[in-house]
Structures are given as C-alpha cells and as structure tokens.
Copies of this chain bind each other. A is one copy, B any other.
Amino acid sequence: MEANLLAKKFLKKRVEPINVEKINSVSEMLSAFNDTSFQSRNLAKCADIYVKMLQDPDQPTIFLGLAGAMIPAGMKRVVSTLVRKRMVDVIVTTGSNPYHDIVETFGYLHYKGSPDMNDMELFRYGIDRIYDTLAEDTKYRKVDDRLAVLADEIRKREPDRITMSSREFLYVVGDLIDKEGIEKEKRNSFVWNCWKHGVPIFVPALCDSSIGLALTQHYINCISKGLKPLIIDQIKDNTEIFNIKKSSKKTGVIYIGGGVPKNYIQQTAYLEEIFGIPNRGHDYGFQITTDRPEWGGLSGCTFKEGISWGKEKHTGMYTACYCDATIAFPLIVKAVLERLGNKWTRKRKTKN
C-alpha cells in the first residue's frame, strides 16, 4: 500500500488518446502528441524546445546542422523560412545542400522518380538518381562550370586574396545567385536567403561535394596555367564559428541528420572547453535522425553522451526524434510558426 502511495509520484500525467477529429492544425496535432507516446511524443518535444529557444530572452544563437540531400527532398523553402524569420543564426551543412540549392536557382530542377528504376538505363540517359528523385547530369555540369569560373573571377577580382573560408565562399555564391539566379527560385533558395539575411553558411567538407569538384576544375586549370588557385581555408572556418560561439551568451542546436554538420556544431562547445572556457555546452538542442546510438558513431549518439564531453549541459533541454527528416522537419517548423503567429519574426539585437 505504501508502495502504492510512492508509486503515485510516477503516475501523474495520463497518456491522452489523441482525437484527430478535433484537431484543426499541425500545431494542434503536435500539441496532442505531447500526451501520446513513443516518437510522436518526441516530435512534440522538438517543437516545444524550439519555441523555448526562440523565446528565451537571452537570445541564444541557434545553429542548424543540415545533413543529407535536403534540396532534392524538397526542403529548401523550410530552411529559407527559418532564415527569413531569423529562426536560425548559423547553418552548417554538407556541400550537397547548397549545391543542389544553387542548381535549382539556375532553373535546373529535381524530378520525382522511384527507387526501383533501372539505373543502367538512367546512366545512358544522363540521369542521376537520389533514391526516388532524379536530376540531369548535363545540367549539373553547367553549374559546375559556372562555379569554377566564379573561383576564377574571385581570384581576378582580388589578386592578393588567395584563401577563403567556406563561409566566405558561400557568401560569394549567394551573391552569384542574386545576380544570375532565376527570380522565382531565388526567393526560395536558402543560400540566397542566408546571403540576404546575414546568416553564415559553413561547409566544413566543401571538397567533398560538387562544389568541391567545381573548385577542383578551377584548381587544376590554374595550376596548368601557372596561376595560383583559390584555396579554401577550412581552419579559418573553425576560428569564425568559434568566435560566434564565444560571443553568444547561450546557444541552441538543431540537427537534421548527423554527419559532419552535427559533429562540427557539437565541437564548437568542445573547442571552448579546450580554450579553458568552462561550462559552455549548448543550452538547447533537438535532433531528427534515423541513426541510433548502438553503432557508436557521432551521428547517432545521444545528447546525454554529449554531456560527458561538455558539449551539452546537464541543465539543458534536449530531445531526439527518430524519424525521417522529410516528415518531421516540416511538421516541427509548421507547428512552431503557428504558435508564434504568421507575422512573427525573431528580433535579434545583433547580427551574427
């Protein structure tokens, strides 16, 4: 009986059976998910943590880690919305995300296909497949050529400038989109929106992408002509993002997938640890992932594990939702927008 009384402390909040008939919006769906279980509840927590991050009067700097191929997945406007409304302050991404974004601003689209297509046939037709999505290889080549020329132009414009961080290069790409991109696609481009709204984009593994391949064309071309090519200085990126972290009173992190973007944002907190700035783990965080901790990789590791490293604080708010990002990410963003109101834009004292 006494055990029963003690048990009560654990049995306070009922699981509320969700009534979809009464739900009128995505936000209401996610609110109801707060009282269901398993991954729906975690999805609800992600939205809640995001709202808390955004409304924290200390204005945490919000880092968005973007892995995968989110643009062929149709997610670029979701990111652009976050940028326009100042709901993220820094983006760290694989090279493929800005690359595919640029491709579309040049009017070269991605198309719906299927994972069961005949890849030998696609190869013959010059079509590249990304799971259930298709692209024209020749169009990719045109973009590569333009980006290679862009590097030439940078070198010509500023002959004394030999190195650039990936962030600086992506800013120049934003400028290119502004000048040469198709109007309609430009508005939806997250690279262009970042350029316009002062949100830095870091691509730590820039060489590992089609942007990197374009820069390789430029590089080989320069060398063959005895010219000095543009050098992407990845450690400069580290100092830049470190400065952002250091000057932020608080920070929040959003991981769409894992990979380099997640680890790179994680390590900004760890870098401070190294430089003797104590207790600087990120204050808020949520992750959408289909990976899992049991394989020991950083992509699937838990926020809890990050606490041991000082990358997260034990007093922080974190959650992970195990779900494909193409489902969870638009739902979370939509729910947050509904809660904050259509006109809402985050006010930032300072630009990052």
A residues in contact (CB < 8 Å) with B: 3-4, 6-7, 10-21, 23-26, 29, 32-33, 35-41, 43, 67-69, 71-78, 81, 96, 104, 109-113, 115-117, 119-120, 122-134, 136-138, 141, 144, 163, 188, 204-210, 212-213, 215-217, 219-220, 223, 229-239, 242, 257, 259-260, 263-264, 267, 270-271, 273-275, 290-299, 301, 304-310, 314, 322-328, 330-331, 333-334, 337, 342
Question: Is there contact, CB below 8 Å, between B4 and A334?
Answer: no
Question: Is there contact, CB below 8 Å, between A69 and B231?
Answer: no
Question: Is there contact, CB below 8 Å, between A308 and B110?
Answer: no
Question: Is there contact, CB below 8 Å, between A125 and B6?
Answer: yes
Task: Name the B residues within 8 Å of A308 (CB-CB).
Answer: 117, 119, 122-123, 127-129
Question: Is there contact, CB below 8 Å, between A112 and B17?
Answer: no
Protomer copies:
4
A10–B10 CA distance with the chains assembled, in angstroms: 31
The 4 closest A-B pairs by CB, nearest first: A36-B74, A205-B205, A39-B324, A40-B326
Question: Is there contact, CB below 8 Å, between A69 and B296?
Answer: yes
Question: Is there contact, CB below 8 Å, between B296 and A213?
Answer: no
Task: Name the B residues within 8 Å of A239 (CB-CB).
Answer: 216, 219-220, 223
A41–B115 CA distance with the chains assembled, in angstroms: 12
A208–B95 CA distance with the chains assembled, in angstroms: 14
How far is the CB of A327 from the nearest CB of chain B, in Å? 5
Question: Is there contact, CB below 8 Å, between B213 and A204?
Answer: no
Question: Is there contact, CB below 8 Å, between B238 and A38?
Answer: no
Question: Is there contact, CB below 8 Å, between B213 and A267?
Answer: yes
Task: Name the B residues within 8 Å of A337 (CB-CB).
Answer: 20-21
The residue on B at minimum CB distance from A74 is B36
A21–B123 CA distance with the chains assembled, in angstroms: 37
Question: Is there contact, CB below 8 Å, between A20 and B330?
Answer: yes
A67–B15 CA distance with the chains assembled, in angstroms: 19
Task: Name the B residues within 8 Å of A72 (CB-CB).
Answer: 15, 37, 296
How far is the CB of A203 from the nearest CB of chain B, in Å? 10
Question: Is there contact, CB below 8 Å, between B73 and A40?
Answer: yes
Question: Is there contact, CB below 8 Å, between B7 and A126?
Answer: yes
The residue on B at minimum CB distance from A270 is B213
How far is the CB of A103 from the nearest CB of chain B, in Å? 12
A72–B141 CA distance with the chains assembled, in angstroms: 41
How far is the CB of A265 from the nearest CB of chain B, in Å? 10
Other-chain contact of A327, B236, B291, B327 (Cβ < 8 Å): B327
How far is the CB of A208 from the nearest CB of chain B, in Å? 4
Question: Is there contact, CB below 8 Å, between B204 and A208?
Answer: yes
Task: Name the B residues within 8 Å of A236 (CB-CB).
Answer: 219, 231
Question: Is there contact, CB below 8 Å, between A326 and B205?
Answer: no
Other-chain contact of A23, B26, B74, B270, B298 (Cβ < 8 Å): B26
Question: Is there contact, CB below 8 Å, between A15 and B110?
Answer: yes
